Structure 1
């Protein structure tokens, strides 16, 4: 529990796009509780774009140079001492560890030298401070774990909805791209066959089977992915009987999101784009692996169908859920205090490593 409002706070969450989107409800709650506070994200290099997209919740960005034992980036050991010294010099009132269980990341946050530190700690390992640290939950959706932490700090929740604000320029760019590839006024579905972890990728031939079934029902098929996933989208296209539009590597993140916003449905692996669909209100069928649904599935299981089988998910099951979603009218995404499009700062290019 916090006993006084912090003036300046740093939040460590040096992770990829999907992980960051799951943190938006917690960031919204923090802003609602402390509207005058300066909130700085400590994140991976790409996350400067994330901060620019959420000016209603985040005020600044500090690039995290990595740390031994944290796998998200190779640590820049020469840069690390200077970075930690700069963080201490900023004299933050509060530093929150939102980067996993805390086994390693709590030591990082402690080095920030904030007046108060908070976050998760791993059960069985010493708790830094019971007033501000919470045992890392073994189960539960990621967004709810983070909301449990903010609630532990006395911060009331402000809804569970994800958000991804878009600028008018991004929507205009997506409209122009849609017109140029012939889907300006046509119904289409997006197929996203990539994932940063190869074990999360559903087989190419099954994506192709579902895509052909969609095309057979009069829908255009758009294959999405990063530049690093051109090989995957190309393999899906070659395995299909029907033609498909391959946009892999052709869309900045905002344009990709604006294309998804126009789609009827997304079929994808358990990766960052599934959280993007959740934030945009786009119905989706997500093929998941292992115990990931318990932590990473969208909270809305009506709009988003998550399929996970130890023996593998058959294409027929994905198609059945896809057709059921397509039979329903598109519901708008909830918008809890969503920042206006005009408030989104200029952001850069979409990078495949984000997902």
Structure 2
């Protein structure tokens, strides 16, 4: 007779998940959170995450009930590395008497040490190769799997098998309204819209701005409407792309919320970007993309649909990269040519149903477009 899973044995009413990471990382955990919710539909599921994740919990309210802000700790570089807030944090967590604490943050080690301080009845997570056995449901870190599949391996071991392996990013009425306003203000023509997103959190993950500009110019010359996207903080970078272009383009850096950006991605014909959060949004929106992956572990982070999302990468000996700024001349980025990216972008656009370029070099050509109501209905 098969032994019951940990979830079945515990029947947990209070679950806490530790994953204090940025947007792209959180999107990759959505299938695992979905599987957990399906297996424990009545449980209260709390996320220990970064302060920005209030927006994540609001958007995924069907999967997560609460955000508990992680105060930061030594060994967790996503915030200031200080243990000063941990004693009060651990005291508060132990008082919550969670039935199950799940470590979805990473491969184990220091993250597991933190997990055990939460005082839950049972723990689950990953073990590094040299890490001693821990009580609970811990599996070896599945280094060979893509990022979303790693966390599904753990939820499956817990007794929560995958019900849907796809990424998702649910759009709200506010997101749709924001896109409608953006479209009206900037004259966005969705049938020929291509987004150029040159930003990434780390400089070592960025393809050069002038190369993005050259690709954008080539696509504009073929009749595609170019929009440059990014956060307000990335305006110097997006302006560098715009300034290096000879063709006109829409400059939308800082013009959208995260939800508005996702709605924009959903309507675009193609996204050209670095290996960063927007590549995961494109995967969630099923929008074709060309991803220049500099430094990152493409086996881990590349979208699973290799036809819809083309990842271009070079593999010098220093990859995967552990640096914020490359000390070696950035060969993984410099060895990806403008011609390669441009050709791949053209190939992707040729396969998108409903994509129609307009007059070469024109920012606005006023081709017949469906109404926003039709677009809203289609999404």
TM-score between both structures, scaled by the size of structure 2: 0.85
Pair 1:64 & 2:70 matched: yes
d(CA) in 2 for partners of 1:48 and 1:75?
21
Q: What does residue 351 of structure 2 align with?
A: 328
d(CA) in 2 for partners of 1:7 and 1:205?
53
d(CA) in 1 for partners of 2:267 and 2:296?
31
1:330 and 1:108, CA in 2 relative to 1: closer, same or farther beyond 3 A? farther
Gaps of 5+ in 2: 316-330, 355-375
Q: What does residue 118 of structure 2 align with?
A: 112
Q: Which has the higher contact order (CA 8 A, sep 6+)?
A: 1
2:208 corresponds to which of 182, 203, 209: 203
Q: What does residue 335 of structure 1 align with?
A: none
1:258 corresponds to which of 258, 263, 273: 263
Pair 1:9 & 2:10 matched: no
d(CA) in 1 for partners of 2:227 and 2:174?
21
The CA deviation string for residues 236-278 of structure 1, in whole angstroms up to 9 with x for no partner, is: 1111110111111121111111111111100000011100110
After TM superposition, the structure 1 = structure 2 runs for residues 105-254 of structure 1, keeping only pairs within 5 Å, are: 105-129=111-135, 131-184=136-189, 187-254=192-259
1:218 deviates by 1.1
Q: Match of 1:120, SS?
A: strand
Q: Match of 1:102, SS?
A: coil
Q: Match of 1:236, SS?
A: helix
Pair 1:286 & 2:291 matched: yes
1:67 deviates by 1.2
Paired residues of 1:175 and 1:184 also in contact (CA < 8 A): no
The CA deviation string for residues 196-249 of structure 1, in whole angstroms up to 9 with x for no partner, is: 010110011211111011111111110011111111111111111101111111
Which structure: larger Rg?
Answer: 2
1:79 deviates by 2.5
Q: Match of 1:46, SS?
A: helix
Q: What does residue 53 of structure 2 align with?
A: 47
Q: Match of 2:71, SS?
A: coil
1:98 corresponds to which of 104, 118, 130: 104
TM-score between both structures, scaled by the size of structure 1: 0.90
1:184 deviates by 4.7
Q: Match of 2:265, SS?
A: helix
d(CA) in 2 for partners of 1:283 and 1:328?
9
Paired residues of 2:191 and 2:268 also in contact (CA < 8 A): no
d(CA) in 2 for partners of 1:199 and 1:291?
9
1:69 deviates by 1.4
d(CA) in 2 for partners of 1:150 and 1:22?
14
1:318 deviates by 1.1
d(CA) in 2 for partners of 1:119 and 1:226?
33
1:290 deviates by 3.7
Gaps of 5+ in 1: 332-340, 342-355
1:182 deviates by 1.3
Instruction: Count the aligned residue pairs.
Output: 331
Q: Match of 2:51, SS?
A: coil
d(CA) in 2 for partners of 1:228 and 1:135?
39
